[in-house]
Structure 1
Amino acid sequence: MTGRPNDGDRVYYFGQALFKDKVFDGDVVAMGRALAQRYGGLDGRVLVGHHGGQVSNLSDPAAAAALADLARSARDGRDLVVVLLTSHGLPGEIAVRHPGMKHHTSLTASDLRQLLRPLENDRHVVILQACYSGSLIPALQSPNRIILTAARADRTSFGCAPGSNNTWFIRSLVEELQQGGSWQDVYLRTRSRVQGYERRKGIGIHENSQPQASVGGRMQGLWAGAGGPG
């Protein structure tokens, strides 16, 4: 399903590259394009990265304020906000390293809950592209939230080399969003596509990333393709 089945539904996008490598900027831009194609345009977007072009280099507090602004623009229970955070990761955290930083810091589950708090009354999809990102799902589950992660709690994700255009998970998700279908359809096809990349690269079943999903109780209609944008 593509387009906006309910008249008046609006779609907003916030994407942030939390690490300095260009591949993460590429993820942010590619996801914005795919969502705009899927929904026939976006009603608001904020693209945060580090290498110019289509992304803005915002401080972390300014980026969080921009996300809160999008949340205020979205009408509770009617509109959709899609959030992408892309970086490296460790169990229970997403790495943060901007140009000029000597060492990385991190966002913990508690930090992410705080970042996402303005969206609690909005329907929203949170996409976490990072190694071990599935470890963050239990702490972030919420009735109005779909969570998609690049990897299982105990697995790495792939394709995050600095010279890559996109990580494998985001490349797969973008390609499947462009093919249409419900968010559930897109997720299942994305998992299959990622597994194909990994298999061709010789990554076995004991190492593959195994992307994960969590669907809040109020998001079942959107997940299955009914009840709003999607």
Structure 2
Amino acid sequence: MSLLLVRAKATARLKVSAAQLVWLLLADLLLTAFGTWLMVGTDSSFNRYGMASAVFWVPLILFTAWASARAADDDRKTLPGAVALVAIGIVGTVIQYGMILGLPRLGDDFAEASAYLYWGFFVWWVIASIVALARAQQLLPEQRMGAVLAVLGLLIAPQWLFKDNSSLWIPHYDEAAAAAESDAEQARYAAVTHEAMLYTQPALLDDALAHIAPGRPGVPELFVLSVGGHGNQDVFLREVRAVDTLFRERFDAEGRSLVLVNNPATVNTLPIASVTALARSLKVFGQRMNADEDVLVVFLTSHGSEEHRFDLSLWPYRFDELTPEVLRRELDAAGIRYRALIVSACFSGGFVPPLAEPNTLVMTASRADRNSHGCSHSADWTFFGRALFNEALRDTYAFDTAFTQASAAVAVREAAEGYDPSEPQIAMGEAVAPVLTAIERRLQVNAMGQGQMAGVSPPDSRVAAR
């Protein structure tokens, strides 16, 4: 702990020997094994293939200490440097696992503060490692740059560039449960291949579009189109349904919302999500909206690709690809002026440049070269969907404020579960911003009136004060 606190006398207490280094390495390995066991869960089995990931840092530490010693032209300083790095790493590992397991328990109200705390500690850990290495090797001032470069270049960078997410522990495999799941999966697609779907789907889309109400003149409103793309995971179905409900109930979009979704369970009840269905829906929305005051919210949730293609898949059908260029083309063709486009998918940041313009707000769940997370078949929400819709937009009507809150919450959850940061993106057009603000203020006034009637205070009172 003294090393982590950068105390001057901390390195003097180290009893440097090869045996001490071996024991410290073993202690850190045991701590890593225990920490990953707590994260995966007690109902898990040891994974010997995860050992490569667990000991990946050992040669890096030794090489880092040696490189720093070579910068000082004294190979004898390698052992003290390695001991100092491992010793400070043990304390850092304990604190890191404590934060990963403990910070989520603070709740969503502390999400942003938790993210700063976690990454702040990581930066401090790096700085303390540099100081401990320089002091343990008794480097002269002109030699200390070698310690800085060694830690940053040899110890930190390779672990970021060549990260192996193999865990020492994996959940128990239940063969009977896996067989039952396989049978259920086959039964799941029976409705999709039934010929009745070919006749049911056009009627479902026509009926849904017929019920889209026209905008009210002089009342700035949101119209909402929610699209669940990948048909093999129920999380996207749950998400579009929940988002549709949120906008109808909280954002006054009743009668002005539509769900398109690919899922075997809904092929006879909801319109499927295809480029053709999307284009037809956008055309109807464009006809029903008041172009100068209404905003169309398009929420897209699915898997994404590095080529920035949004996954519209429903086996055994093969739908046209949905790219940001296709989406913009159909929005333009429909004559929709103001747009709020929210894309929740891996690599979705690639949608920002083709779609961003003055009349458009674009939000994505990740950077153009990053994965987003939370696409579990059993989950109710993806990480980004939960943070933005189920949390932030229940407390505010402001999309930009909600995005800031959601990004912080996503960062905390990703760190807690060991994922690389997705880094959600946003581009707010200068022309659409005041239109969204007008809608936010109207919704806030309505909420204040309802709150006064009910005798309670509404959320997000700061909107009215803008």
Give the TM-score normalised by the residue count of structure 1: 0.85
The CA deviation at 1:78 is 0.4
* 1:15 partner SS: strand
Match of 1:32, as an amino acid? D
- The CA distance in 2 between the partners of 1:104 and 1:23, in whole Å, is 20
Measured at CA, do residues 121 and 16 of structure 1 come closer, stay the same or move farther in structure 2, by a change above 3 Å?
Answer: closer
Q: Deviation string for 1:19-51 (max 9, x for gaps)?
A: 112111112111112222332343411101123
The CA deviation at 1:181 is 4.2
- The CA distance in 2 between the partners of 1:100 and 1:227, in whole Å, is 45
User: More helix by proportion, 1 or 2?
Assistant: 2
Aligned to 2:300: 85
Aligned to 1:17: 228
What is the aligned-residue identity percentage?
24
Aligned to 2:28: none
Aligned to 1:74: 289
- The CA distance in 2 between the partners of 1:134 and 1:59, in whole Å, is 21
The CA deviation at 1:121 is 4.4
What are the ranges of 5 or more consecutive residues in structure 2 without an aligned counterpart? 1-216, 442-466
- Contact 1:16–1:28 (CA under 8 A) maintained in structure 2: yes
Q: Deviation string for 1:40-79 (max 9, x for gaps)?
A: 3434111011232974335531332012201221111201
Aligned to 2:460: none
Residue of 400, 416, 431 corresponding to 1:184? 400
Match of 2:315, as an amino acid? P
The total of aligned residue pairs comes to 219
1:31 paired with 2:247, answer: no
- Contact 1:81–1:123 (CA under 8 A) maintained in structure 2: yes
* 1:94 partner SS: coil
Match of 1:131, as an amino acid? C
Residue of 385, 395, 412 corresponding to 1:196? 412
State the structure with more CA Rg: 2
Measured at CA, do residues 54 and 42 of structure 1 come closer, stay the same or move farther in structure 2, by a change above 3 Å?
Answer: farther
- The CA distance in 2 between the partners of 1:166 and 1:116, in whole Å, is 27
Q: Deviation string for 1:155-179 (max 9, x for gaps)?
A: 1000112222221111111121111
Aligned to 2:381: 166
Aligned to 2:341: 126
Match of 2:277, as an amino acid? A
- Contact 2:221–2:253 (CA under 8 A) maintained in structure 1: no
- The CA distance in 2 between the partners of 1:184 and 1:228, in whole Å, is 13
Larger relative contact order (CA 8 Å, sep ≥ 6): 1
Q: Deviation string for 1:67-119 (max 9, x for gaps)?
A: 22012211112012110111111122212211324x78632232222232246
- Contact 2:349–2:365 (CA under 8 A) maintained in structure 1: yes
- The CA distance in 2 between the partners of 1:63 and 1:104, in whole Å, is 12
Residue of 21, 36, 46 corresponding to 2:258? 46
What are the ranges of 5 or more consecutive residues in structure 1 without an aligned counterpart? 1-5
- The CA distance in 2 between the partners of 1:173 and 1:46, in whole Å, is 19
- The CA distance in 1 between the partners of 2:334 and 2:428, in whole Å, is 15
Question: For the aligned residues, what is the CA RMSD?
Answer: 2.3
Measured at CA, do residues 8 and 177 of structure 1 come closer, stay the same or move farther in structure 2, by a change above 3 Å?
Answer: same
- The CA distance in 1 between the partners of 2:415 and 2:340, in whole Å, is 28
- Contact 1:17–1:28 (CA under 8 A) maintained in structure 2: yes
- Contact 2:364–2:426 (CA under 8 A) maintained in structure 1: yes
Measured at CA, do residues 65 and 138 of structure 1 come closer, stay the same or move farther in structure 2, by a change above 3 Å?
Answer: same
Match of 1:200, as an amino acid? A
- The CA distance in 2 between the partners of 1:110 and 1:127, in whole Å, is 15
Between stretches 48-57 and 188-197, larger displacement belongs to 48-57
Residue of 324, 344, 353 corresponding to 1:109? 324
User: Structure 1 stretches (4+) deviating beyond 6 angstroms?
Assistant: none
1:217 paired with 2:430, answer: yes
- The CA distance in 2 between the partners of 1:114 and 1:12, in whole Å, is 19
Aligned to 2:353: 138
- The CA distance in 2 between the partners of 1:144 and 1:121, in whole Å, is 10
* 2:439 partner SS: coil
Match of 2:438, as an amino acid? G
- Contact 1:38–1:177 (CA under 8 A) maintained in structure 2: no
Between stretches 213-222 and 146-155, larger displacement belongs to 213-222
